[in-house]
A and B are shown apart, each in its own frame.
Chain A
Amino acid sequence: MTVALAVEQVTKRFGGLVSISDLSIEVSPQEIVSVIGPNGAGKTTLFNIITGVYRPDSGRILVEGNDVTGLAPSTIATKGVARTFQNVRLFHNLTVIDNVMAAMYGRTHAGLVASALGLPRARREEARVREDAKELLSFFGSRLMGYRWEQPAYSLSYANRRRLEIARAMATGATILLLDEPAAGMNPKETHEITEVVARLRGERGHTIVIIEHDMHVVEGVSDRVVALDHGVKIAEGNYAAVATDPHVVESYLGRGTAGTK
């Protein structure tokens, strides 16, 4: 098995607007692929299609060789694709640890009756999940540790909310993580830290990662490969240096006429 995630000739239209056009992307296991492109290029739409929020008009999504096109988002997440959101969408009134434990729903089994009666089976599972969640939060060093476990998510700083969202995505048990602008709104120091976190996600946890990012330092720092989109079409693909200097990419960001001068 050489392909973790495959997007095969996917097209998505909204009314007359073609948001994604005949797009194919393959991601190998433990690869970090960045998706770049100007606003409206279709990056977040791509994530929404992969995770099942939108159904593509044509084309297929394969996760580890299995066709997941048209499945419910929760099913796709259980099959190994989890995401973060561009505008952080935590469960703000739940505690930090409850946010992480909630995302373990798909890999736990206690039913309604077992939960309501507090059967030993359900309580054992609950204890195990809690330990898993603590272990998972320790991935972020002291950032999300100790007293913060029992704090509501809304009390976290912006950067910590983004970290918690990554922790929550990891908690689903997914091997493939889709990170939608993880460094957006962060200061340079935090941005650097996120770059390290993304590298460690692969190095220590063996995750396959697709990342949407506007900060080119982050893109340069983490990517094995960069895919550039514009108007839903793949305009360049390759390593960072090649894509960043590609005339089509420069043109899409800066406009026609500037490409030749670079």
Chain B
Amino acid sequence: MAEESLAIGTDEWVAAHEGRTSGQVQGPVARTFGRLPWWVWGSIAVLVAVVLPLIGSTYLMRVGVNLGLFLMLALGLNLVVGYAGLLDIGYVAFYGLGAYGFAMLASDKFGVHLPTVVAVPVVVAAVSIFGLVLGLAARRLLGDYLAIVTLFFGQMFVEFALSGDAITVPGRAEQVDLTGGTNGITDVDRFSFLGVEFSSDRWYYYLLVVLVVLLALAVRRLDGSRIGRAWKAVGQDPLAAEAMTMPVNRLKIMAFVVGAGIAGLAGTVFAAVQRGVFPSSFDLPLLILLYAAVILGGSGSLKGALIGAALLSLLPEALREPSYSEMVFVLLLVAGLALAVRSWRDRIIVVVATVVFGFVMNLLFTLLHVQGVPASAWTSGPVSTLLGHWLFVPQDRVLWGNLGFVGLVVLLAVLTLVGTRVRPILLPAIVWLSIFVWFVRLADVPSITRQLLIGALLIVLMIVRPQGLFGRRQVEVL
């Protein structure tokens, strides 16, 4: 055994290398979090969540409820996609089934008002059975094929909800209304346990805090358990997992059922807190946002799912505030520049060139006699005054903003085509155009700007960390 440490081909170097680069492997975010044990961070999060309502407004409570629902969904989807590796594109349909299920069993729609303690378990069980059926149908499908089948399932649900208000039943003259069509089902009962009615968002907020904490603890337990390990094994190599005593089909179906159950439970809460359900709530945008959350956090990681979901749920809310979105814009611009230009000398050149370029454009606009607005008319503060002399703001902001936007997109496309030598020449124009478009046009339409900013943020994050914030580096072997 003595010669072992010097043996050729052993992984001493690999191990040493791992040791050197372990910081990079874990990622800066994960390292920061690693300094304190998980339960400290968990307790802090729970404490903040519990105290928040005492100082928060009703708007904040609504944000909190949405966050809670989103966290539940992300945790469930993470089990299906991140652990078991099943590309389930119809996941949101289970959320919708849960919501519609509860709405049907507890509203004036059919005059049925089941008590919450009965309705919720019944609905969750029913949604789980839907998960079982879909799992059974799709159990032999992998990857893209599974995605196609589940996508169909998801869209089928939306279609059913949309046109379920006029179902022709053989032997009955009038059409049956099951889902209320585009109008959905309204006046859904509130939750009530033991005679206590959940009368405000605050109740649901606390209920969701409890549910999310319980769910996260359960997932944490599962992670280090026989079932969780088997799911991860199945997700990585189903054939090897099957050969190593794991019944792959059963495990996949189990993941489907559990994921569906969690989504169904979240759906019942959603229906009760909204007091109504509508088909549009369960369409593709929510699904895309959910996937983005799970991927952003790092597929297959509990922390990742929680933080990814929190970011993608809170960011759009935070960006409603113009000053925040301006901050994010400036950050993105600086980060983009820092990524695009690698040496400090070039960075300084680009910044100086941008300033010069701005004055040149200002002059150009004046020479062309374009009607402009003085800077003080639309913003205030010393930065704006300074900016006013540098940045020309045309009278017709929509036209010039749109023109600038098209120019920006074209320039960005050109940037990807040209070589590294030409790039620095284009950069000042791009930076100036970004700022121009932002102040002239984008700052006026926050709802669109929000989406653009989140998209840009995701692109930057995914370039920097393709495996997600807490994801393990995916390695292709051989």
Write the residues of chain A forming the contact surface with B, with a CB cutoff of 8 angstroms.
Answer: 51, 53, 72-75, 77-78, 82-83, 85, 87-94, 98, 101-108, 110-112, 115-118, 122, 125-126, 129, 141-143, 147-148, 151-152, 154-160, 168-169, 171-173, 186-187, 189-190
A-B residue pairs in contact (CB < 8 Å), sample of 29: A53-B243, A77-B242, A77-B244, A85-B243, A91-B237, A93-B236, A103-B245, A104-B226, A105-B244, A107-B245, A112-B254, A112-B258, A115-B227, A117-B221, A118-B225, A122-B226, A125-B226, A129-B226, A141-B4, A142-B4, A151-B18, A157-B10, A157-B14, A159-B10, A160-B11, A173-B245, A186-B9, A189-B9, A190-B9
> A93–B243 contact, CB under 8 A?
no
Whether B477 is near chain A, meaning CB under 8 Å from some CB there, is yes
Q: How far is the CA of A189 from the CA of B8 in the complex (A)?
A: 8
Which chain B residues border A107 with CB–CB below 8 Å?
A: 245
Chain B hits for A85, CB < 8 A: 240, 243
Number of interface residues of B (CB under 8 A): 43
Residue of B nearest to A165 (CB): B240
Give the docked Cα–Cα distance between A117 and B222 (Å).
8
Q: Is the Cβ of B218 less than 8 Å from the Cβ of A89?
A: no
Contact A77 B14 (CB under 8 A): no
From the candidates B11, B226, B240, name the one contacting A105 in the complex (CB within 8 A): B226
How far, in Å, is B114 (CB) from chain A's closest CB? Answer: 25
Q: A122-B225, A187-B8 are in contact. List 11 more A-B contacts (CB 8 A).
A: A82-B243, A93-B472, A93-B475, A98-B232, A112-B254, A117-B221, A122-B226, A126-B224, A142-B1, A157-B14, A189-B9
Are A91 and B232 in contact (CB-based, < 8 A)?
Answer: yes
Bound form: Cα–Cα A108–B233 in Å: 16
Asked whether, in the complex, the Cβ of A73 is within 8 Å of the Cβ of B242, the reply is yes
Contact call A108/B226, Cβ cutoff below 8 A: yes
Q: Given A116-B221, A117-B218, A151-B18, are A110 and B227 neighbors across the interface (CB < 8 Å)?
A: yes
| Residue picked from B226, B228, B242, B477, most chain A C-beta under 10 Å | B226
Q: Which of B14, B222, B228, B245 contacts A74 (CB 8 A)?
A: B245
| Residue B478 lies at the interface, judged by CB distance under 8 Å to chain A | yes
How far apart are the CA atoms of A155 and B472 in the complex, in Å? 12
Known A72-B242, A189-B8; contact A152-B227, beta-carbon cutoff 8 A:
no
Contact pattern, B 1-19, Cβ under 8 Å of A = 1, otherwise 0: 1001001111100110010
> Once the chains bind, are A53 and B8 in contact (CB under 8 Å)?
no
Residues of A near B240 (CB, < 8 A) are 85, 89-91
B229 at the interface (CB under 8 A from A): yes
Known interface pairs A110-B226, A117-B221; A160-B10 also in contact (CB < 8 Å): yes
* B248 adjacent to chain A (CB < 8 Å): yes
Shortest CB-to-CB span from A189 to chain B, Å, is 6
Q: In the complex, A141 Cα to B1 Cα: how many Å?
A: 8
The reply to whether B15 and A155 form a contact with Cβ atoms under 8 Å apart is yes
Cα A169 to Cα B241 with chains together (Å) = 11
The answer to whether B18 touches A94 (Cβ under 8 A) is no
Residue contact B227 to A157, C-beta cutoff 8 Å? no
| B472/A158 in contact, CB under 8 A | no
Q: Which A residues lie within 8 Å of B4 (CB)?
A: 141-143
Residues of chain A within 8 A of B225, CB atoms compared: 110, 115-116, 118, 122, 126
3 nearest CB pairs, A to B: A106-B245, A157-B11, A115-B225
Which B residues contact A (CB, under 8 angstroms)? 1, 4, 7-11, 14-15, 18, 218-219, 221-222, 224-230, 232-233, 236-237, 239-248, 254, 258, 300, 472, 474-475, 477-478
Which of B221, B232, B244 is within 8 Å of A103, CB to CB? B244
Chain B residue numbers with a CB within 8 Å of A88 are 477-478
Q: Are A155 and B14 in contact (CB under 8 A)?
A: yes
Asked, given contacts A74-B248, A107-B245, A116-B221, whether A151 binds B9 with beta carbons under 8 Å apart, the answer is no
Establish whether residues A157 and B9, one from each chain, have CB atoms under 8 Å apart when the complex forms.
yes
Choose from B9, B221, B222, B246 the contact partner of A187 (Cβ within 8 Å). Answer: B9
**Given that A105-B246, A152-B472, A157-B11 are contacting pairs, would A93 and B232 also be in contact in the complex, using a CB cutoff of 8 Å?**
yes
Question: Are A93 and B474 within 8 A (Cβ)?
Answer: yes
Given A112-B227, A112-B258, A116-B218, the answer on whether A77 and B233 have CB atoms closer than 8 Å is: no
Is the pair A102, B221 in contact by a Cβ cutoff of 8 Å? no
Question: Which residue of chain B has the shortest Cβ distance to A148 in the bound complex?
Answer: B15
B222 contacts across to A, CB distance below 8 A = 112, 115-116
- Cβ contacts under 8 Å, A101 to chain B: 226, 229
Bound-state Cα–Cα, A101 to B243, Å: 14
Nearest opposing residue in chain B for A77, CB measure: B245
When distances are taken between beta carbons in the complex, the residues of chain A under 8 Å from B243 are: 51, 53, 73-74, 77, 82-83, 85
Q: Cβ of B233 and Cβ of A91 under 8 Å apart? A: yes
CB-CB < 8 A to B474: which residues of A?
Answer: 93
Q: Which residues of A contact B477 (CB under 8 A)?
A: 88, 92, 154
Partner of A151, one of B15, B242, B258, B478: B15
Closest CB in chain B relative to A237 CB, distance in Å: 26
Contacts of B8 in A (CB 8 A): 187, 189
* Contact call A105/B18, Cβ cutoff below 8 A: no
Known contacts being A83-B243, A88-B478, is A115 close to B226, with CB within 8 Å? yes
| Closest B residue to A74 using CB positions | B247
Once bound together, how far apart are the Cα atoms of A142 and B472, in whole Å? 26
The answer, among B221, B237, B245, B247, for a CB contact under 8 Å with A115, is: B221
In this complex, what residue of A is CB-closest to B255? A112
Bound: A94/B229 CA distance, A: 8
Report how far A22 CA is from B247 CA in the complex, Å.
Answer: 30
A49 to chain B, nearest CB (A): 13
Residue of A nearest to B475 (CB): A154
B3: nearest residue on chain A (CB-CB)? A189
How far, in Å, is B189 (CB) from chain A's closest CB? 29
B11→A102 contact, CB < 8 A = no
Complex CA distance for A112 and B228, rounded to whole angstroms: 9
**Minimum Cβ distance to chain B for residue A152 (Å):** 7
Query: Distance (Å) between the CB of B312 and the closest chain A CB?
Result: 24
- Which residues does chain A contribute within 8 Å of B244, judged by CB atoms? 74, 77, 82, 102-103, 105-106, 168-169, 171-172
| Residue on A nearest B10 in the bound complex, by CB | A157
Set of chain A residues within 8 Å of B254, measured between Cβ atoms: 112
